[in-house]
Amino acid sequence: MSAERKIPFFLPGASNPEALLSRSISRVLASNWFVLGQEVTAFEKAFAEYIGVSDCVSVANGTDALELALRAVGVRAGDRVVLAANAGYYSSTAINAIGAVPCYVDIDPRTMSLAPTLVEGALQNRPAAVIITHLYGQLADVELVGGLCKRAGVPLIEDCAQAHGARRADRLAGSFGTVGCFSFYPTKNLGAIGDGGAVTTGDDEIATRLRALRQYGWEGKYRVAVQGGRNSRLDEIQAAVLLDKLPLLDACNEARRAIAVRYSAGLRALPLELPVSVGPDYVAHLYVIRSNLRDQLRTFLAERGISAEVHYPIPDHRQAVSAPLHGDQPLPVTERACDEVLSLPCYPGLDLEAQALVIEAIEDFFREQGRS
């Protein structure tokens, strides 16, 4: 491999065509309306229609989406919320902001999302909600977990921050649960040029509460009626960019999946665990492999000029702020995953040569290890 060729983990320019951004921003500047205007209204309508639900309520970021969704379904301080511990602490942050209690359960080793059998057991303790994360862009076992939650009368919150457009049997991430929470951080499959988020739902009452919660708890201007409100509004420029990018999302997801298909074909003979799907239920937000030589492989790739990341190295229950309450909780499948996962470059604009060089470098690593 040429020492001059560097392969970044993400390439922002490929996802942000200058002409599109110029058109979006110019439209907002011409309107002279910058918060909760026609761009937000148009994007919320378009995104709700895309997901296949009645309502989309945009907010300032993905973490606010999770927190306000929890509040909207009735979670209060002291309530228990079931979730996995391998998804970057974002859901835990939202739960802690309310003063609720994270209840971690282990993951399925195949999907690396909540293990349905363990969720079924956790539901016996009557939690206030369950959060299921579609990790890396792979739809979780959401139908099964959703059925368990429905029978128990417990709201299911989908964390769709990495799964924009993931679908199964014509249903999309964000349409299975009581609510779906999205982030539009610039690296996401549908990314803004700053922070942004949204909550999708088919429940009109929840949508009404969400609209109040994102703006101080107002039921009308200056009339605060809903506890837990805050200032969490998607601005017009971000909404305009997202509105113009939304029609491109499915094609961008196909481009990501094509890279995933090539990686899986090139790496399947190596001693690695690969993503479980490269079909429509996976939008390849991250292409994540697993190896007990993860750290050595990452160093080897860096020496070849290939940037790889770890999503995520520390499970939530082992974080310093969690240790006093959860540090001794055994989550062996989660902990093994956090020790082994490695994310490879996977984004629209990653050319065929770069993909081939990534595969070649990983082959060379295992050849040197004598394990190819």
Task: Show the domains of the chain with their CATH numbers.
Answer: 13-105+112-247 (3.40.640.10), 248-368 (3.90.1150.10)
Above 70 in pLDDT, residue 3? Answer: no
Above 80 in pLDDT, residue 99? Answer: yes
**E-only strand ranges, the chain:** 55-59, 80-83, 101-104, 129-133, 156-159, 167-168, 171-172, 179-183, 197-201, 218-220, 223-224, 287-290, 341-344
Per-residue pLDDT band for 244 (boundaries 50, 70, 90) equals very high
**E-only strand ranges, 97-166:** 101-104, 129-133, 156-159
> Mean pLDDT across the stretch 49-70?
98
Residue found by looking up tokens 């971690």 in the block? 104
DSSP 115: -
pLDDT of residue 1: 46
CA 369 – CA 92 distance, rounded (Å): 38
Tokens of 10: 């993400």
Above 50 in pLDDT, residue 14? Answer: yes
> Mean pLDDT across the stretch 253-275?
98
Per-residue pLDDT band for 13 (boundaries 50, 70, 90) equals confident
pLDDT of residue 129: 98
pLDDT in tens, 196-227: 999 999 999 999 999 999 999 999 999 999 99
* Angstrom distances, CA of residue 104 to CA of 123, 180, 321, 329: 12, 20, 14, 9
pLDDT of residue 224: 96
pTM above 0.75, yes or no: yes
pLDDT in tens, 325-359: 887 889 999 999 999 999 999 999 999 999 999 99
Treating both helix axes as pointing N-terminal to C-terminal, what angle do 249-267 and 352-368 enclose, rounded to 10 degrees?
30
Sign of the alpha-carbon torsion through 107, 120, 52, 276: positive
Above 70 in pLDDT, residue 138? Answer: yes
User: Comparing 13 with 284, which gets the higher pLDDT?
Assistant: 284
